[in-house]
Amino acid sequence: MKKKTLLLAGLLGFNIAMAQEIKPYGSLPSKAQVAWNDMEYYMFIHFGPNTFTNKEWGHGDEDPKVFNPTHLDARQWARTAKLAGMKGIVITAKHHDGFCLWPSKYSTHTVRESAWKDGKGDVLAELSAACKEYGLKFGVYLSPWDRNHPEYGTATYNQVFANTLNEVLSGYGPVFEQWFDGANGGNIKQPYDWNLFHSVVYKNQPNAVIFSDVGPGCRWVGNENGIAGTTNWSTLNVKGFTPGAGGPPTKSLNEGNEDGEQWIPAECDVSIRPGWFYSPDTNDKVKSISHLLDIYYGSVGRNGNLILNVPVDREGLIHPNDSTRLMELRRVLDATFKNNLAKQAVVTATHTRSNNAAVQVAHLNDGTNSTYWATSDDATTTAITLTYKKPVTFNRLVLQEYIALGQRVKAFSVEILENGKMKEVARETTIGHKRILLLPDYTTTQVRINILDAKAAPVISEVQLYKAPGVLATPEISRDKAGHINITCASADPVIHFTTDGSMPGVKSPVFNKNTQLSLPRGGTVKAKAFLKNGNASDLATAAFDVAPAKWQVIQADAAAKDHEAGAAIDGNKATVYLTDRQATAKYPHEFQVDLGETLSLKGFTYIPATGESLGGIVYGYEFYTSADGKNWGKPVASGQFANIKNSPVQQNVAFKATAARYIRFVAVAPADAAQDWAGIAELGVITR
């Protein structure tokens, strides 16, 4: 080995002796990207005026005085992230409303103009110090789309944004990730100077990973559900694409591109609540453990990093409902990944690369992904076998590639020894930084991983096996049109206990089973928990209902698409949807009128869009009218846009000045997706409480 190459290998931080003997394959990660992938799980914090105004996209004209957290404690955020097992925090330094969480020189819409700490506070200073104290990495989100800045949309704005960036990236210590949001829901078009923005990032923070739809550090995964594709390449084709509306197709974002031009791994962003910002309306809607586990396995388990948003509340704290859930999740993950059963196995492989001290079969189960095993260059199919003296029971398989040398594996299968024969129990595609397979319990003395196809000699750093404890599924609470409540649980044997008085259900609370008659046609709150005989309990499910659509009737709607009749919008079931006729020539606006069957004091309405394969028709612009007689409607009681509904199609709650009415009219004014002329409603509801 030449001295120079050795030095190079050392400089690149690659693994010890002779690593250069394995030729890197394809697009490669930088050292910063490798370190970033190792972080796997970190916190997103959305915080700003929206926290106080119940908005998802502020308009930028909010009075900065609304920003006034009463007990802001960034150390509590950092402590929570640390205890949750997260490795860093990324905060919305500036969201679309333009409000800066630090006293920026380049804006007059900042914490300085707010009521908080008499304008003397600086959230970024407090958070970066707290992250340092707790050993967490610190990252920043800055939205180029700015609905406040007077220069937005003019030739000078790009420099304003660059100055703003420079201020943040030079003022608060090391930044591990720079999050650039591609969203732009406004009418003013501003061509962004991405080269300028990137140069500011790299000048100040050469190790920062830059997030956008096209990286260059990491990429948006194509949805806000936190779920990557089962096939997930960390490489992406970016030529011809730009961040935001000009981004690559959703499938590429979700699955990457095999042999893509650049190393741009997926980051899965999702909020622990339905919205990105805190709202008191969502205190009871923190995602369940079952849901969060699906997200964890769908992101970290599929070669993606998970950035989980935990919105800070109006006090300036992480709400106890969110932190409790994070700790419950941590307990489950710790119990799952405590005992690596692969460590007790004798590991063998069919093809091991020779004459390379860095390559060892023993590295496969040594518990670290900084060492590896590999085949010789001609062997792109191979098998790794774990053999046990006594049978082991497992239900999770973790595989990791040594990504510093590129992503290589294209297909693999898993077999176990059963009755003297090998039986295939899984067949999958990519691995990347980490792949976790969820399997039923298997008891066996031999597990084999067959690499069926690879771009080049597989370089695997880890094979791990675990036995995850059973987790009781969170109960699901639903209510039908008439107001009858149903509570189910996906786990087999538990007893479900519930309350309707707001108290925590315990084993002494009433039992819910198929004979239970529970009806809440006028609304109410149901809390439920599942219990096993041994005392184990699920996490808490809560559902708050308003008036049921028992007496409601559709009095006017557009022609409906086949199997999607108008009644589905008010049947209490969000799985059935009303879609206007997709073949029809009728274009926006679409109108929908309902007779509530009685006069109610209305304080707002709710809209759940139709999502899922081949549905769409998500409404963006809306008007909402009320009437006492179904004839005189007057001016709309509410109108506007459902902010961020395209990427995050969750229930929308719109409040308006209380009014007594028997008839309601929802007008879909503009679509979220300009290519879709039809409107869809999974459920329309009213707010009376």
Which residues lie near ligand FUL (CB under 6 A)?
56-57, 181, 183, 269, 276, 644, 647
Residue in the structure block whose two tokens are 């076998």: 385
Contact by Cβ (8 Å): 458, 382: yes
Q: For residues 265 and 494, which CB has a smaller minimum distance to ligand FUL in the complex?
A: 265
CB of residue 497 to ligand FUL, shortest distance in Å? 36
CB of residue 431 to ligand FUL, shortest distance in Å? 27
Q: How many residues does the chain have?
A: 689
CA distances from 189 to 145, 153, 176 (A): 9, 6, 30
Contact by Cβ (8 Å): 624, 667: yes
Residues 6 or more apart from 615 whose CB is under 8 A from it?
Answer: 577, 579, 680
Q: For residues 489 and 643, which CB has a smaller minimum distance to ligand FUL in the complex?
A: 643
Angle CA(632)–CA(635)–CA(641) in degrees, nearest 5?
130
Q: For residues 50 and 365, which CB has a smaller minimum distance to ligand FUL in the complex?
A: 50
User: Among 191, 243, 187, which Cα is nearest to 215's?
Assistant: 243
Q: For residues 57 and 99, which CB has a smaller minimum distance to ligand FUL in the complex?
A: 57
CB of residue 646 to ligand FUL, shortest distance in Å? 9
Residue in the structure block whose two tokens are 């030079």: 170
CB of residue 57 to ligand FUL, shortest distance in Å? 6
CB of residue 353 to ligand FUL, shortest distance in Å? 43
CB of residue 44 to ligand FUL, shortest distance in Å? 7
Q: For residues 27 and 225, which CB has a smaller minimum distance to ligand FUL in the complex?
A: 225
Q: For residues 269 and 683, which CB has a smaller minimum distance to ligand FUL in the complex?
A: 269
Q: For residues 330 and 646, which CB has a smaller minimum distance to ligand FUL in the complex?
A: 646
CB of residue 648 to ligand FUL, shortest distance in Å? 7
CB of residue 277 to ligand FUL, shortest distance in Å? 8
User: Among 166, 168, 176, 143, which Cα is nearest to 30's?
Assistant: 176
Q: At what angle do helices 194-204 and 157-171 cross, to 10 degrees?
A: 20
For 537, counting Cβ atoms within 10 Å of its Cβ (0-12 exposed, 13-18 middle, 19+ buried), the class is: middle
- Cα distance between the two ends of the chain: 75
Q: For residues 356 and 653, which CB has a smaller minimum distance to ligand FUL in the complex?
A: 653
DSSP states along 291-332: HHHHHHHHHTTBTEEEEEE--B-TTSSB-HHHHHHHHHHHHH
CA distances from 42 to 2, 134, 289, 382, 654 (A): 40, 13, 17, 35, 31
CB of residue 286 to ligand FUL, shortest distance in Å? 17
Contact by Cβ (8 Å): 91, 127: yes
Q: For residues 42 and 276, which CB has a smaller minimum distance to ligand FUL in the complex?
A: 276
Residue at shortest CB range from ligand FUL: 183
CB of residue 641 to ligand FUL, shortest distance in Å? 12
CB of residue 307 to ligand FUL, shortest distance in Å? 9
- Reduced to 3 states (helix: H, G, I; strand: E, B; else coil), residue 250 is helix
CB of residue 145 to ligand FUL, shortest distance in Å? 8
CB of residue 264 to ligand FUL, shortest distance in Å? 17
Q: For residues 58 and 301, which CB has a smaller minimum distance to ligand FUL in the complex?
A: 58
How far is Cα 646 from Cα 672, in angstroms, rounded to an integer?
A: 6
Strands (E), 246-403: 262-263, 266-271, 304-309, 346-349, 373-374, 382-401
Q: For residues 380 and 644, which CB has a smaller minimum distance to ligand FUL in the complex?
A: 644
User: Among 550, 389, 539, 384, which Cα is nearest to 482's?
Assistant: 550
Q: For residues 181 and 328, which CB has a smaller minimum distance to ligand FUL in the complex?
A: 181
- Reduced to 3 states (helix: H, G, I; strand: E, B; else coil), residue 364 is helix
Residues 6 or more apart from 478 whose CB is under 8 A from it?
Answer: 485, 486, 487, 488, 543, 572, 573
Q: For residues 57 and 663, which CB has a smaller minimum distance to ligand FUL in the complex?
A: 57
CA distances from 420 to 298, 348, 415, 417, 426 (A): 33, 19, 12, 6, 18
